[in-house]
Amino acid sequence: MNELQKNELYSNLYGFYGKLLTKRQQDYFEDYYYSDLSLGEIADNHGVSRQAVFDNLKRSCKLLNNFETKLCMKSDYDFFEQSLQKCIDSLNVNDYVAIQSVIEVMLSRLKGE
């Protein structure tokens, strides 16, 4: 995974789980990923070492991954978004059988089957 993909992944995960991080973790994360500040700039702004910022960001990313592994909110969101797009595409060609099939899969997923 390249740096751009990694940044996009963590930004997306932060959108789902950011409120579960501590205020300090949120501040560092937002400074680094959204404000594009360097580790040194963040450290200076918060009066900590560059290593402390690095460790905090690493821990935050690990937490975000753990939240996704356990709660699956992003993967569920992606699944339902793609499924709804398939329904729209099928509606455009009047393929009601395909729509029914997609909806049945969505309902099964909601039921945990």
How far CA 94 is from CA of 23, 87, 88, 89, 99, in Å, comes to 50, 10, 10, 9, 9
CATH 3.30.160.270 fits 3-71, yes or no: no
Q: Which residues contact 11 (CB under 8 A, 6 or more apart)?
A: 33, 34
pLDDT in tens, 65-108: 999 999 999 999 999 999 999 999 999 999 999 999 999 999 99
- This prediction has a pTM of 0.87
Give the integer Cα–Cα distance in Å for 112 and 97: 23
Residue 66: the pLDDT is 98
User: In the numeric block, which tokens belong to residue 78?
Assistant: 């992606």
Task: Give me the mean pLDDT over the 59-64 stretch.
Answer: 98
Quick one: pLDDT band at residue 1, thresholds 50, 70, 90?
confident
What is the domain partition of the chain in residue ranges? 3-71, 74-111
Residue 29: the pLDDT is 98
Q: Which residues contact 40 (CB under 8 A, 6 or more apart)?
A: 50
